[in-house]
Structure 1
Amino acid sequence: MATIKDIAKDTGFSITTVSRALNGYSDVNEETRSIIRASAKKLQYSPNMLAQSLVTKKSKTIGLLVTDLKRESVKDNFVFEVLCGVSEYVATIDYEMILISTTTSRQRNKTFSQVVGERNLDGVVIQGLKKDDPYLTEAVASNLPTVLIDIPIENSTTGFVTSDQEDSVKTAIKYLSRLGHRKIAFMNGHKHAYVSEIRFKAYQEALSEIGIDYDEKLLCYGDFEEEKAYQTALNFLLATQGVSAIFCASDIMALGVLQAARELQISVPAELSIIGFDNILLTRYVSPSLSTVAQNPFELGKAAAQLVLEIINETSSDHHLILQNELIVRESSGPNL
């Protein structure tokens, strides 16, 4: 196995220069760095990560912390797309990624500092924490570079990436209004998610902007779960008269609503229009295909990884990024007849 000494002998540079070039120090010019990297590749040099971390004080490892992963989530490819985005980016900069799965109850058994400290992480990307989860409070208060997905909190070591939630919701509601819908219900996720709070506020504002009074009887919750959304929609549609459209805060819930409508023999979209949020893979294959607000979780993950590296390396003081969404109109939405 080749060593730094072998590269130094092959290139004629000192061991110190070779070491600093391979570890990314800025005092090595690019021509020298290129020669040294070419030699390392030729000699099939593989760095000793432990030794390297002792020199640079960095492990070149970031974590992706996700919460509440369960078998029922298999239909929702959102987290997988985020993971792929993070993984693809870190691979281009010679970093490693560690996946950390947690739940609210497990967070009470081991602190955030313990979890990241045991893995010697340089930084962490966090997806799916609830507003009252202990790890969220601990992460924001810590000095570890942290990027939150869909949680708009920012400080010197914490940033966030999200999509344009408010405009996306307003676009969907106003689209339904243009189709002639006036009694537009909203199925939210649960009250512990920041996105639920933001999407609900946008729903209310959209109604106000198009001259429709908000009616709390048209609000229901599906907990971001298909089965819960199905049961909720059954009861809601049986008890609520005149609803011609339902906007759901996730596609998974919209699938539950679609199932409930089918069971109640409510024609979609002739009698009920349904719009979801996320554009998961299944939305284009169900019948009728689901209209939805398309997010790009792959790009969210990629942007989060890039931002956490910028915080680690202190190359940017702007610690947030907002991506644009798109309303995808398919078969589940139509004019109010």
Structure 2
Amino acid sequence: MNITIKDVAKEAGVSIATVSKVIHEKPSISDATRAHVLQVMEQLDYHPNAQASNFARKCSENIIFLAVTEPHVAFHNPHMFAILCGAQDKIREKNYNFSFIGVPDKDTACKKTKEIIGRRSADGLLIHGSATSRPLVSLLTESGFPHVIIGKPQFSSTACWIDINNHVSGDMAAKYLTRCGYAKIAFIGGPESDEISRHRLKGFSSALQLGGLSVDPAFLKYGTYSKESGFQMMEELLRGSCLPDAVICENNQIAVGAVSAIKKHGMSIPDDIGVITFDDYPLSQLVDPPLTVVDIDMDEMGQQAATILLKKIKNPAFQIQSFSTLPSLIIRSSTKNQSE
């Protein structure tokens, strides 16, 4: 026999409305009455219908993480899953359900977001940068739906977002290489239009200029985020009239290609040329020699994004647009020992 809220009310000698207030933790109930009703609920082994309760309160107790997914996404974008794990830790603490929705493209992401908002199938959305578009951001801001975009939109908006400080990452890489005694430093990255590459390059350039070193345009190469592109860009540098003595690689795959090109030319790492990259994935440790990296704690970033979203669910007027999660340096044998 299923125990109902009516059975609890009858056994406790209170109204159904009083039992409902106890279930929903309303402050208008005395501590004594609350304790008595909870005791009766336990004696009768009564468990409220969460779905019906949430419907009555116009909430779902569900948070959705939305991202564009594609074949081999775990290899090409491992950040996403580190962020997911961090976000889940915080969301679980607050007893929310956490769902992941992967979509094939940004247009579908926008349609799915409109559906989620219309059906109220979630109380809040974490939007991965891969899914961000102008229509989606407009939808979020116009509806006032609780959200946090992970990755600053590449256009002006009033959306709520959190991002890492890529300028600081580029600055840190350049400063460390100069402290190691390198003076002719190259930078090889993704497409020139890419926001992450631009900010890291600005940080790199600023650090060199402040250190009294020039930025040689011939030492700046743009390609794709692939091993093949890394190899090709490094080849171009090594065929130039002036050789770099260190190279900053935009990601691990580019670094793997760059290391292959350096070895092909019979050069020694780190004595002939130092190599540093970003993000400490297993790939950076499997390369020979293991790579020095500027690392970002993406798990921490996921936790911060979830914390902000939970605050926004409670207070829709809460607004934040910020860079967070400062990078750290992990030194390995692809760079010389730091100069004293």
TM-score, scaled relative to structure 1: 0.82
Does the 8 A contact of 1:126 with 1:149 survive in 2?
A: yes
Question: Matched residue pairs, number?
Answer: 336
**Stretches of structure 2 lacking an aligned partner (at least 5 in a row):** none
Could you say which structure has the larger radius of gyration? 2
Change beyond 3 A, Cα 1:159–1:332:
same
Equivalent in the alignment of 1:334: 336
Are 1:212 and 2:213 an aligned pair? yes
1:253 alignment partner AA: I
Superposed counterparts of 1:189-208, under 5 Å? 189-191=190-192, 193-208=194-209
Instruction: Look up the SS of the partner of 1:110 in the other structure.
Output: helix
In the aligned structure 2, how far is the partner of 1:57 from the partner of 1:299? 31
Identity across matched positions, percent: 27
- Written as runs of structure 1 = structure 2, the 5 A alignment for 1:260-279 is 260-279=261-280
> What is the aligned partner in structure 2 of residue 324 from structure 1?
326
Residue of structure 2 equivalent to 1:135: 136
**Structure 1 residues 151, 108: closer, same or farther in 2, change over 3 A?**
closer
Q: Please state how far the C-alpha of 1:296 moved relative to its aligned partner.
A: 0.9
1:255 corresponds in structure 2 to: 256
Partner of 1:55 in structure 2?
Answer: 56
Alignment correspondent of 2:174: 173
1:105 Cα deviation after fit: 5.9
Which whole-Å CA distance do the structure 2 matches of 1:220 and 1:7 have between them?
A: 71
Say which is worse superposed, 135-144 or 262-271, in terms of deviation: 135-144
- What residue is the counterpart of 2:247 in the other structure? 246
Residues 50-199 of structure 1: pairs in structure 2 closer than 5 A: 50-71=51-72, 73-74=74-75, 77-104=78-105, 106-107=107-108, 110=111, 112-114=113-115, 116-117=117-118, 120-129=121-130, 134-151=135-152, 158-191=159-192, 193-199=194-200
Deviations 1:195-228 (A, max 9, x none): 2332222122112211222233222234333343
Cα distance, 1:128 vs structure 2 = 2.8
CA distance in 2, matches of 1:336, 1:2: 70
| Partner-residue secondary structure (3-state), 1:275 | strand
Query: In the alignment, is the contact (CA less than 8 A) between 1:245 and 1:274 conserved in 2?
Result: yes
Distance 1:335 1:45, change over 3 A: same
* Secondary structure class of the residue paired with 1:129: helix
Give, in whole Å, the separation in 1 of the partners of 2:105 and 2:250. 22
- Contact persistence 2:186–2:244 (CA under 8 A): yes
In structure 1, stretches of 5+ residues that fail to align are none
Shift of 1:307: 0.7
Shift of 1:177: 0.9
Give the match's secondary structure for 2:130.
coil
Cα contact 1:159–1:308 (8 A) shared by 2: no
- Cα offset, 1:311, TM superposition: 0.7
Please state how far the C-alpha of 1:56 moved relative to its aligned partner. Answer: 1.4
